């Protein structure tokens, strides 16, 4: 592995974006700040959010995204603020996730996963921010996401995908119970640690909302709560994503600082998942952007040199 690929989206287009980096510090958008996939070509609501990319153990790349356009009414995609009444289902109230699969990062198959249709008895209020991880014991991709039933609190759920990556093979179950049931939790990100344990970063909507950790010996259960908030923000942030620096015993926590203007990402670095060093925001420290200035809810994976060069060449 010799390069990094970051996925993200923007509110103005609700499309999918890619940015490449040679060193994990400076990122360049492959399409000069324009979408590589338009949300209105793949999503029921004509827009995607929260793209997460994973390198599979089978030679494929997988992406999972929220199927939601928060400006659908303004864009003329629907006549109402949300697909369904906000007084019954609250903010956003989407029902679908968008799934994509590719061998080369250029040509993608896609499908829509309708959680509400699969489980109508749940009265799904929203399903957001899906992420993926390969479970070696199950030989399946585990998908985990934020879900709200009706107008209840958002919670974290997990399930297993079928081999074709088009539908769930198991019924979603609770991934983690927050000790304060009055608080919402969302945006989980699971990292397998060198010692075999799993670290789950997630957002607790405290005041301010921010990033917390929980640890487990198992990929899908028994995560132990830790009270500390580990981000370095004075205001709320969300969407944690952890990536490793290639060839180093360092991991970077990237998160979305939605509460600042202009919108930005924050970064922290760790070697032990106990103490973290503040790397600041994009373009205000060591982390840089070269040809884009706005991004939301990102994720990062490693690429080979050949994969990065083919992707860059395709988008010129």
Q: Which of these, 179, 183, 222, lies nearest to 200 by C-alpha position?
A: 222
Residue written as token pair 């929260």: 50
What's the per-residue H, E or C state across 84-151? CCHHHHCCCCCCEEEEEEECCCCCEEEEEEEHHHHCHHHCEEEEEEEEEEEECCCCEEEEEEEEEECC
3-class secondary-structure state, position 239: strand
Tokens of 281: 């925001």
- CA dihedral (224, 228, 234, 238) in degrees, to 10, reads -10
Rounded to whole angstroms, how far apart are CA atoms 95 and 115?
A: 6
Interval 161-205: pLDDT, tens: 999 999 999 999 999 999 999 999 999 999 999 999 999 999 999
Contacts of 247 (CB under 8 A, 6+ apart): none
The pTM assigned to this predicted structure is 0.97
First to last CA, the chain: 22
Task: Give tens-digit pLDDT for 226-235.
Answer: 999 999 999 9
CA distance linking residue 90 with residue 83, whole number of Å: 11
DSSP 73-98: TTTTS-SSSSSS-HHHH-SS---EEE
pLDDT number for residue 49 = 98
Q: Residue 316 and residue 302: Cα distance in Å, rounded?
A: 20
pLDDT tens digits along 17-36 = 999 999 999 999 999 999 99
The tens digit of pLDDT for each residue in 224-264 reads 999 999 999 999 999 999 999 999 999 999 999 999 999 99
Tokens of 165: 């990556």
pLDDT band at 104 (very low <50, low <70, confident <90, very high): very high
Across the chain, mean pLDDT equals: 97
pLDDT more than 70, % of the chain: 100
Question: 């049931």: which residue's tokens?
Answer: 181
- State residue 236's pLDDT score: 97
């Amino acid at each position: 592995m010799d390069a990094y690929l970051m996925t993200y989206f923007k509110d103005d287009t609700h499309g999918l974006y890619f940015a490449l980096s040679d060193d994990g510090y400076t990122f360049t958008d492959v399409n000069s700040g324009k979408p590589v996939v338009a949300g209105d070509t793949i999503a029921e609501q004509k827009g995607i959010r929260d793209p997460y990319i994973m390198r599979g153990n089978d030679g494929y790349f997988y992406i999972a995204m929220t199927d939601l356009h928060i400006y659908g009414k303004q864009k003329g995609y629907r006549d109402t603020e949300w697909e369904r009444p906000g007084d019954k289902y609250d903010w956003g109230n989407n029902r679908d996730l968008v799934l994509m699969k590719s061998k080369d990062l250029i040509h993608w198959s896609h499908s829509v996963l309708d959680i509400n249709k699969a489980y109508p008895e749940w009265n799904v209020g929203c399903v957001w921010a899906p992420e993926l991880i390969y479970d070696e014991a199950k030989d399946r991709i585990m998908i985990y996401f934020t879900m709200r039933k009706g107008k209840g609190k958002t919670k974290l759920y997990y399930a297993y995908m079928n081999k074709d990556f088009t539908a769930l093979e198991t019924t979603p179950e609770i991934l983690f119970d927050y000790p304060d049931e009055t608080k919402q939790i969302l945006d989980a990100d699971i990292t397998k640690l060198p010692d075999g344990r799993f670290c789950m970063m997630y957002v607790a909507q405290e005041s301010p909302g921010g990033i917390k950790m929980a640890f487990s010996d198992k990929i899908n259960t028994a995560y132990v709560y830790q009270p500390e908030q580990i981000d370095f923000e004075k205001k709320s942030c969300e969407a944690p994503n952890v990536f490793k620096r290639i060839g180093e015993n360092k991991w970077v926590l990237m998160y979305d600082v939605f509460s600042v203007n202009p919108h930005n990402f924050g970064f922290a670095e760790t070697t032990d998942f106990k103490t973290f060093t503040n790397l600041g925001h994009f373009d205000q420290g060591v982390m840089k952007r070269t040809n884009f200035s706005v991004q939301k809810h990102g994720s990062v994976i490693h690429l080979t040199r050949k994969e990065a060069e083919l992707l860059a060449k395709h988008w010129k």
